[in-house]
Amino acid sequence: MRIFRLGVAASAVTALASCSSIGSLNPDSLAQSGQLATQALMLSDGDVRTLSDKSCAQMDSENQIAPASSQYTQRLNKIASQLGDNINGVPVNYRVYMTKDVNAWAMANGCVRVYSGLMDLMTDDEVRGVVGHEMGHVALGHTKKAMQVAYATSAARSVVSSGSGMIASISGSQLGDLSEKFINAQFSQSQESAADDYSFDMQKKKGYSPAGLVTAFQKLASIDGGHSSLLDSHPSSPARAKHIQDRIASGK
C-alpha cells in the first residue's frame, strides 16, 4: 500500500521527451529531455536492481530500523514466513522502519520495508495483505517502471554517462532525490488492481485468508490527515475493498 504509487510510467517518461524542463522550446533542451527519457527507458533489470540496492541502502541509513529483539521485527518475521523468502527468484529482505508514518514499499531487488505506524494500525492479516500487494508490484514489473520514472525525474538525471558507469556516478544527494521520487511515486489504477489481485491469489495459494486486504483498505479509507503514498489510492480504498470482498464471495 505503498499500495498506491505511480501514475503511468510510460506517460511520465513521454512527457519528458515531449517538453522542455521549464517550457522552453530551446532545441538543445528538447534534445536533452529526449535523451534522458530514452536513457531511463533503457535501464536494464540489472541497472534497476543496482539502483534499488543503492536506494534501499540510502533509505536504511536515514531511518531507524527496528532491532531483531523488537516486537515489530518479530511480528514482521512471522508475516514474512507466511509470504515467502523470494519474489520471482529474487531473495527478499524485510525490515521495519520506526516511524509513525503509515506506509510500506518494495523495490525490484527484494528490499521490503514496512513502517511501524502501519503495523500499529493493522493486524497481522492486514499487514500480510499489504506486504503481499507490495510484493506484487515487484513481481509484475511495476517497480522497474517506477524506478525508470524516478530516475528520469530526479537529480540523478543530470548524470551524463552510459551503462553501469551512469549508475556508479550518482552522488549521495542525487541518490537521495532518486529514493524520494521512487518512494512517493504513484502506480496506475490497473497496476494497483493487479497488485491487489496478486496479493489475493498468493495468500489463497498459501492457505491464508485474503480478508485482511478488505479491512486494511477500510482502515486506510478512515485515516484523516497526514500524507502517505500508501493513501493515494487509485481506485479508492472502498472500491478496492469491495473488489476483494466480491472475489472472496465468489470463491474466485
- Residues with a catalytic annotation lie at 134
Looking at residue 85, what DSSP letter applies? S
Instruction: Assess contact for 229 and 103: CB atoms under 8 A.
Output: yes
Q: Are 149 and 184 in contact (CB under 8 A)?
A: no
Output the nine-digit C-alpha cell for 220.
Answer: 486506510
Cis peptide before 210 (omega within 30 of 0): no
Instruction: Please check whether residue 215 is in contact with residue 123, taking contact to mean a CB–CB distance below 8 angstroms.
Output: yes
**φ and ψ at residue 115, rounded to 5 degrees:** -90, 140
Closest CA to 222 of 239, 244, 237, 241: 237
**Are 172 and 58 contacting, i.e. CB atoms less than 8 angstroms apart?**
yes
90 bridge partner residues: 87
b/e 62-96 (16+ beta carbons within 10 angstroms → b): ebebbeeeeebbebbeebbebbeeebeebebebbb
Q: Of 15, 47, 25, 29, which is closest to residue 167 (Cα–Cα)?
A: 47
Residue 210 CA to residue 186 CA, distance in Å, equals: 23
The conformation of residue 93, written as its DSSP 8-state character, comes to E
